[in-house]
Amino acid sequence: MLTVAIAALVLVILLSILHLRWRTRYGYPPADTPSVLCYHKITPRFCLEGTWTTPSRFLDQIDFLLTRGYVFLSEDEFYAALSSPFPDHAKKILLTFDDGYEETHDVFMEHLAPRGIPVLVFLVADYAGERNTWDISLGRRPFRHLSWEQVSRMSQKGASFGSHGARHLDLTRTAPDALEREVAGSRRAIADKTAKPVRSFSYPFGRYDAGVRAAVERAGFDGAFSLYPRHSNERIDRYAIRRNGVYVIDTRRNLRWKIERSPVFWFEEMKCRTINAAAVLTPILTQPSRGRGKQTRTFSCGRNEKGR
């Protein structure tokens, strides 16, 4: 009994320290701006990594948000709302997808577009229609990125597309000349293929520094998204926009904790900051030094795939 009491006391102390760190460094986001959700893979395939959600759970989460009165914004509507804070914006959400996997096409075309729900998808420009060999996921079967034909079909139905770099590099570990190609070059490539303005950038792995931020602004993007920026949540930085990551372990309850000012908001955020911090392992293993080309191996999910 004494051991249990000591363990409980230690847990309370650790949680108190964690809460104090969150409260003093981050705090709540503004209550008069929209939330942003970030998904990655929407797939029924089991993955040992956490950046995936099954289609059924994803659609259940969308229905849950709609029943709670949330409204989904387009990219243009989001920027307009960001520029004009208003209490009603607390019930508005921008739905984003990083990496641009081809499963996003089916989910959007079959379920979201018919319901008038817009999305903002961040593409890895050099990997359109190709497998994600930039990744070092757990498992064996790689995922395929959206082809330009799929992007075109989605665009015609109201989807917006931004850049996630040319090769999904950690831009803080990238030489200046390569950085320009990753940022400005990817923007030109996507604009050429979609024949539409490319307004938004998503930092690969959520990582950026002053030089990367400046490169994105210099390239002409209207805004850039991270996941959980280092600055206070109260601060709105158009080139370091905060998003809520959604992972396979997240339920309806977790989703509500992410976007509503609940008493456990802080715990949910610190959980997700920890998950996102683990993403740094991929560029460390695949991009060993600044400015070098990278050698990658893919260890994704499911069975070995020899071709399609």
Contact 142, 298 (CB under 8 A): yes
Domain contains 21? no
Domain contains 301? no
Confidence of residue 287 (pLDDT cuts 50, 70, 90): low
Number of domain units in the chain: 1
Element of type H or E holding 36: strand 35-39
Q: How many CB atoms neighbour CB 65 within 10 A?
A: 22
**Residue 127, domain CATH:** 3.20.20.370
Give pLDDT, residue 18: 86
Q: What is the mean pLDDT of the chain?
A: 89
Of all residues in the chain, the percent with pLDDT exceeding 70 is 90
Note the Cα 39 to chain centre separation in Å.
6
Secondary structure class of 111 (helix, strand, coil): helix
State yes or no: pLDDT of 145 exceeds 70: yes
Question: Which structure tokens are listed for 127?
Answer: 């990997």
Domain extent for 46 = 31-286
Higher pLDDT, 50 or 298: 50
Domain contains 280? yes
Give pLDDT, residue 194: 96
Confidence of residue 7 (pLDDT cuts 50, 70, 90): confident
Domain contains 19? no
Domain contains 195? yes
Confidence of residue 295 (pLDDT cuts 50, 70, 90): very low
Give pLDDT, residue 306: 35
Q: Where are the beta strands (DSSP E) in 68-227?
A: 71-73, 92-97, 120-123, 160-163, 200-202, 223-225
State yes or no: pLDDT of 207 exceeds 90: yes
**Which range has the worst mean pLDDT, 7-21, 186-200, 204-218, 293-307?**
293-307
